[in-house]
Structure 1
């Protein structure tokens, strides 16, 4: 029976490119699929894999091209990736690249876009919870999966070391989280909408402008800032998964890691929780 058509490749290759040309960083996060067509018929009909480029190699090539084209627009990156396959493998006759971008926009601090701190575009869901009895009500506002990151000014050092510890300390890492937060009202603000915006602005200013020795310390500082900024808030509770962006080791391919190419991963993640109140 004839083999009508065939193609194969690697999907959901997640890549974060961080352009560090100066103090102002650029971030581009993509999920990439690269599919190849060419002289692969024998792998299907005869189990002969000699012409087959391993899908793990395809993933590595996505990472290599990302490192070599950190600042390229997504369309340019896709073209460079396809050309890499065509130039390197004469038996590849066609390459189909598809990529979807996770869009980030800069956090604004006092009206100015920040150099290295970002929030997810189209971000989060606003929440309200109300518990009412004849004696009174308990009202809280919040956000769910409010996502933000910064590309520098974050570290993790001097933690407990024992035989189970494999994580290496660092004074410079990406810090990203998708926060679930609720703030309990003790008074009625002039505008809940404006007060909610002030809560997030106060928290994000701390996040963007202070060095983070760990998610725990940053959450506490964010809580303090919220209570200082919005007097009608009695307490704020925050739960922050530590969304990891893992450095990609490209040394086998002659490329040093310099804080520019990462693999985004959501699971497993650290889960950091705290409540900050007025006492």
Structure 2
């Protein structure tokens, strides 16, 4: 599987150079991107490995089917067989084409279930992040840190500054410490949404009246982007996610500042919310 990772890395590097995008991180979509964003969590690393494994399996199957079809075309065409066989059954072949696919599916299912259960719930979580989805912004809460709460709304084009990413940057970023197991709790206040950050391998529905749980552990400092991945209304495409992973020392310093900044502002600016609702008009 190493060859596939090498080819993917070479392709990503070439495309990044071709696009000329001076992006510091591949934690966001890039022009002509064909593969995953580089993994920044243990879950995504396993997703990457499982993807490479499946790529090998489907490639072998596709080559086998192609060879079999070419053999049938050559061996059993009308010129080679002017008098076609009247064989209707072959017990050995029928057993093989039943048993072999079952074995293949089992081989795929075992790592698939292992990955699914690995990504399900946090074991010994070190902190909790609660996410509430709204049309069309996110509300974040840090229950382990005096219930620090704030909202994140997409920046309008006129609000963008150097380093901001159009349609992906928000006014307030989610800040988390690296090398920390974070329990993620999700719900919604109106319709179904989905919180998805590709570099973390996280994509979880936020459902009204229900609390869903998953986890992530960021292994590299940097800024990571995602989007709502469940059609939730006219402005579904304007619900980005912006996560900044920093050192534990920087996170502690940010908490002190954030508690002061958001202490008196528990709710989003109503004018900002109004602008979010007007985008579709």
- Richer in helix (by share): 2
Scaled by the length of structure 1, the TM-score of the pair is: 0.21
- Richer in strand (by share): 1
- RCO higher in 1 or 2 (8 Å CA, sep ≥ 6)? 2
